[in-house]
Amino acid sequence: MSRSVRTRPEGSGQALSEAYDTALLDLDGVVYAGGAAIVHAVESLAAARAGGMRLAYVTNNALRTPDTVAGHLTELGIPTGAEEVITSAQAVARLISEQVPAGARVLVIGGEGLRVALRERGLVPVESADDDPVAVVQGYGGPDLPWGRFAEASYAVARGVPWFASNTDLTIPSGRGIAPGNGAAVEVVRIATGAEPQVAGKPLPPMHRETILRTGAERPLVVGDRLDTDIEGAFNGEVDSLLVLTGVTDGARLLAAPPQHRPTFVDADLRGLLTGQPEVTPAGDGFRCGGWTATAGEERVELDGDGEALDGLRALCAAAWTAAGEGSCALDGGKALARLGL
């Protein structure tokens, strides 16, 4: 895949689990939500693995260790080894290790996942700015992370110690709703110091590099629910992507996606791994997919036909993205999406 602007969602004559050797799966909103497995996830992943596709779980959450994540997935009915889990803590630990001496002290603002990842790279986690750290690393530490930890980071960063962040997601889903994520905590230190961290997590290249190094994937497919992390990360890594509509992205957000947020494939859930993807083809002044034809006018996207709602959404995206070119789609697609029930 090239970085050129996608003008329409792609089709695949093969099941995606056959066309790609490794699925790089986001977790929240793709595999589980609120700790419970999403409908169709367990059986779809089992079928994809049985068919020869390797599965890897790629998360920006630096709090939990790979062992903990693997244990949770196994409890849900998805047998997983720790080596199949790649975290932003691992990506940022590698980034730091490439810039500091072996055995160097690193001030940790976050949870156990960061400490384990640093030790794996031969670095020594410390807790205070007065412990002579050569770097500061900040990752999600959970809702109980004390406010004083942000002050500790600020003291070290203000002294000129290099600052790293596992990721900058502003929010994180929880069983009770949307909570502040590591990006919100990073903003606290940024405001206090005026500094900028080096960031490792999705959608930036260090996370993609870490994933490829650990999985050895040759034909990877990124599978996610977020346009600004999963899909943009695939775009930056120049690999194909599947957006599933089980998380934060709905039809309206997808329709308005700028080029770097446009997935290769779109499906309702992880069952999309087990099937081919329908072709979206030019049809007159618009695009056709399944039983639907979509045409972009000057102010809105028109939809005609009937059939599967997802086919209509694919046709809508093709028309809207073509009209938008390298910009974001400003066309009104509300009426068309309402007709699809999206």
pLDDT digits (tens, 9 = 90+) for 269-278: 999 999 999 9
Buried b (16+ CB within 10 A) or exposed e, 215-234: bebeebbbbbbbbbbbbbbb
Residue 174's pLDDT band, with cuts at 50, 70 and 90, is confident
Q: Cα 95 vs. chain centroid, distance in angstroms? A: 19
Q: Which segments within 90-216 are labelled E, that is strand?
A: 105-109, 124-126, 135-138, 163-165, 171-174, 177-180, 198-199
**Angle at which helices 148-158 and 182-193 cross, to 10°:** 50
DSSP string across 61-80:
--SS-HHHHHHHHHHTT---
Return phi, psi of residue 327, to 5°. Answer: -100, -175
Q: Which residue's entry shows tokens 């120049």?
A: 238
Mean pLDDT score of the chain, rounded to an integer? Answer: 94
Answer yes or no: is pLDDT of 222 > 80.
yes
What is the set of active-site residues?
26, 28
3-state secondary structure of 85: strand
Kindly report the backbone phi and psi dihedral angles of residue 24, in degrees, each rounded to the nearest multiple of 5, phi listed first.
-100, 95
* pLDDT value of residue 1: 42
Angle at 212 between CA 210 and CA 218, to 5 degrees: 175
Q: How confident is the model at residue 299 (pLDDT cuts 50, 70, 90)?
A: confident
Q: H or E segment at 99? A: none
* Helix, strand, or coil (residue 266): strand
Report yes or no on whether pTM surpasses 0.75.
Answer: yes
User: What is the tens place of the pLDDT at every residue in 88-104?
Assistant: 999 999 999 999 999 99
Give per-residue pLDDT as tens, 111-166.
999 999 999 999 999 999 999 999 999 999 999 999 999 999 999 999 999 999 99
Residue 306 has pLDDT above 90, yes or no: yes
Q: What is the DSSP string of 206-246?
A: HHHHHHHHHH--SSEEEEES-IIIIIHHHHHHT-EEEEETT
C-alpha dist (Å) from residue 246 to 32, 75, 180 = 9, 21, 21
Averaged pLDDT, 228-232: 94
Give residue-wise pLDDT tens across range 183-209. 999 999 999 999 999 999 999 999 999
Q: From its phi and psi, is residue 54 left (phi > 0), alpha (psi between -120 and 50) or beta? A: beta
> Is the pLDDT score of 2 beyond 50?
no
